[in-house]
Amino acid sequence: MKDPFLLHIFNPTKNVSPFDVNMAYEAEFDGVIPYSNVTLDEIHALTQDTIFSRGPTGVRRTGIFIGGREFGLAMEMLQRAKAAMVPPFEVSVFVDPSGAITTAAALVACVEAALKKVGHGDLSGKKVHIFGGTGPVGICAGILLDRCGAEAFIASHRGQHVADEVAREYNARFHTRVRGAASGSEEEVAEIVRNSDVLIGSARAGVRVVSHAQLEQARNLKVAADVNAVPPSGIQGVEADDLGRVLNFTPSKALGLGALAIGNVKYKVHYRMFEMMKESERPIYLGYEDAFAVAREYAGRKILGN
């Protein structure tokens, strides 16, 4: 095949995600080349091997995808790849470890649209708690929420000190003001639920973090969003295909956003990011801010009809 579109996947873990490979082929890359166990120090050399092999015009048909499991490491790899470019030898790079960036972007965009739908305005000033917040989806969601003016808390079942430590690390790196919260006991979860405007479930698949009974005490709750598609749901009462369904058992008739509904937006964002790499006349570097901009468009159409 002459002049194929090629995507090189740099992955710091043992296995490259089949999801990412499938999505790349769905976006009609002609070849997808995975690399496993890539270290941060190897990014520079791999990037330069990628850019110098096809000439100044061939690099437009070449891209790099950075995966893995850790949000912070993936962002560092993005910066190392960017620093290794030697214009005009420069290719587009898209970073999305564990799908966390596109998932978080879709999640926050759907929450924002749901708030607007029922007249609660945007995310500014809203108190948002993220269960499973120290994982990659929760961390990225916390950063995006802070960027939107929300009062974001990443909650950890391992305790306040763990949540605070993670919050401090990423606040220093991304200049945010995310805070930690403890969610290891029923009492701690109940206190969070009673005082939140928005609840987000991004805990490990198949783990329930909020019960129906606790939601019945959620006096300020406006939106409950859950990205766990594996039964049981992370937030009881929120169904997987909910796209702004009213949770009538909550005191303030909060809206529910389920994993499949959010996942549908995430899928579109992921696909669109690959399309953008192929369409761009110049090299682009796609991270969480770009994913969120795209997610807002799709969430607005799905929830607000815009």
The CATH number linked to 137 is 3.40.50.720
pLDDT for the residue 27: 95
Distance between CA atoms of residues 218 and 253, nearest Å: 10
Residue 151, Cβ neighbours under 10 Å: how many? 19
Asked if 11 and 34 count as a contact pair (C-beta separation under 8 A), the reply is yes
pLDDT tens series, the chain, 306 aa: 678 999 999 999 999 999 999 999 999 999 999 999 999 999 999 999 999 988 888 889 999 999 999 999 999 999 999 999 999 999 999 999 999 999 999 999 999 999 999 899 999 999 999 999 999 999 999 999 999 999 999 999 999 999 999 999 999 999 999 999 999 999 999 999 999 999 999 998 888 999 999 999 999 999 999 999 999 999 999 999 999 999 999 999 999 999 999 999 999 999 999 999 999 989 999 999 999 999 999 998 878 666
* Residue partners of 189: CB distance under 8 A and separation at least 6: 131, 183, 209, 210, 214
Task: Indicate whether 32 and 169 sit together in one domain.
Answer: no
For residue 1, is it within any domain?
no
Residue 66 included in any domain: yes
Q: What is the pLDDT of residue 306?
A: 61
Clarify whether residues 234 and 299 are in a common domain: no
Do 107 and 247 share a domain, yes or no? Answer: yes
| Paired tokens of 30 | 């002609």
* Whether 121 and 85 share a structural domain: no
- With respect to residue 86, please indicate whether it lies within any of the assigned structural domains: yes
**Is residue 108 assigned to a domain?**
yes
Q: Which residue has the tokens 């690390």?
A: 169
CA-to-CA distance for 299 and 79, rounded, in angstroms? 29
- pTM, entire model: 0.95
**Residue 128 burial class via C-beta count within 10 angstroms: exposed 0-12, middle 13-18, buried 19 and up:** buried
40 and 89 co-located in one domain = yes
Q: Judging by DSSP bridges, how do beta strands 179-182 and 151-156 pair with one another? A: parallel
Is there a single domain that holds both residue 87 and residue 109?
A: no
Q: Are 292 and 229 contained in the same domain?
A: no
Amino acid in the structure at residue 256:
G
pLDDT confidence of residue 2: 77
Task: Let me know if residue 181 belongs to a domain.
Answer: yes
Same domain, yes or no, for 231 and 171? yes
CATH of the domain at 289: 3.40.50.10280
Residue 138 shares a structural domain with residue 157? yes
What pLDDT score does 233 carry?
Answer: 92
59 shares its domain with 109: no
**How many Å apart are CA 12 and CA 49, to the nearest integer?**
18
Asked if 168 and 289 sit in the same domain, the reply is: no
Q: Are residue 119 and residue 218 in the same domain, yes or no?
A: yes
Q: Torsion-angle region of residue 119: left (phi > 0), alpha (psi -120 to 50) or beta?
A: left
Number of domains composing the chain = 2
What pLDDT, on the 0 to 100 scale, is given for residue 55?
A: 84
| Domain limits for position 30 | 6-99+266-304
DSSP-assigned beta bridge partners for residue 10:
35, 66
pLDDT at 226: 97
Angle at 10 between CA 47 and CA 5, to 5 degrees: 70
* Ordered alpha helix ranges (H), 196-258: 212-215
Residue 164 located in a structural domain: yes
pLDDT computed for residue 238 by the predictor = 97
Cα–Cα distance for residue pair 243/238, rounded to 1 Å: 10
